[in-house]
Amino acid sequence: MENKIIIGNMKMYMNLSEIEYYLKIIKDKVSDNVIFFPSSIYIPYFLKGQYHVGLQNISFFDDGAYTGEISAHQATEMKIQYAMLGHSERRLYFKETDYEVNQKVIKCLNNNLNIIICIGETKEEKLQSLTKEVIKNQLMIALNNVEIQKQKNIIIAYEPRWAIGTNQIPTIFELEDVVDYIKKILKKDFKMNLKVIYGGSVNIDNIAELNRINNIDGFLLGRSCIEPQAFLKIIEVINLKDI
Ligand code: PGA
């Protein structure tokens, strides 16, 4: 069985000395299926250590007069392999729309950058039983005009917005059901077989149980990747084969 994907989304946490400490602790201990998403200014430190790294956001413009932005082309030139698109914090605080996510998807794929597309419903939407409708809509827009040959470069992260940073997670049944639904849509409407990972309040206490869900291809961690020893423990649990 192939190793699951493990993503550490470091958000805007950590300063330079914490990054240096982090890198010292994880040295020679991280398996090849782990991808780090630190604040972009720290990416060169991770590249130097030969880790897989990604940007937490990317511009939907090509190069040019766009202050504060980083283009997909600049990313690949720097040997960055991944970009995260449509994270719920980008949608919530920076008002990123599905349409913008789609523009970013296209730019990244044209520049051979692998992408993690984040989708997920809000608490209100869940309470109104709109989860499937919402994620279907997000997928239909995000993947609009994406060529099937690019599918190997795309990972979908199912991250219910209400589960991020809250210590609440869906039930095992809900998760299995939604991930199954996502895979069915991808297959039916896009003829794609994509990996689907789960993110939102994953931690050392719930990872063993989450890891037993058959159709989940990996995990996206926020707070739980910030403390290096704890993150290494979680990685170990995820990589355990026969549980
Ligand atoms: P969390 O964040 O693990 O802190 O809930 C998840 C995420 O970044 O999507």
| pLDDT surpasses 90 at 151 | yes
Q: Which of 96, 100, 125, 159 is catalytic?
A: 159
Q: Please identify which residue in the block is written with the tokens 């869940």.
A: 126
Question: pTM of the predicted model, to two decimals?
Answer: 0.96
Q: What is the pLDDT of residues 83-120, one digit of tens each?
A: 999 999 999 999 999 999 999 999 999 999 999 999 99
Residue 159 annotated among the catalytic residues of the structure: yes
Torsion sign (Cα): 178, 164, 74, 30: negative
Q: What is the pLDDT of residues 173-183, one digit of tens each?
A: 999 999 999 99
Residue 134 tokens read as: 């919402």
Mean pLDDT of 42-48: 98
Which has the closest alpha carbon to 26: 219, 226, 164, 175? 226
What amino acid is encoded at 222 in this protein? Answer: G
The answer to whether 113 touches 83, Cβ cutoff 8 Å, is yes
Work out the number of other CB atoms within 10 angstroms of the CB of residue 197: 23
For residues 130 and 136, give the distance between their C-alpha atoms in angstroms, rounded to a whole number. 10
- Length of the chain equals 243
The ligand 1 site (C-beta within 6 Å) comprises 9, 159, 164-165, 199-202, 220-224
Binning pLDDT at 50, 70 and 90, where does residue 2 land?
A: confident
Residue 77 annotated among the catalytic residues of the structure: no
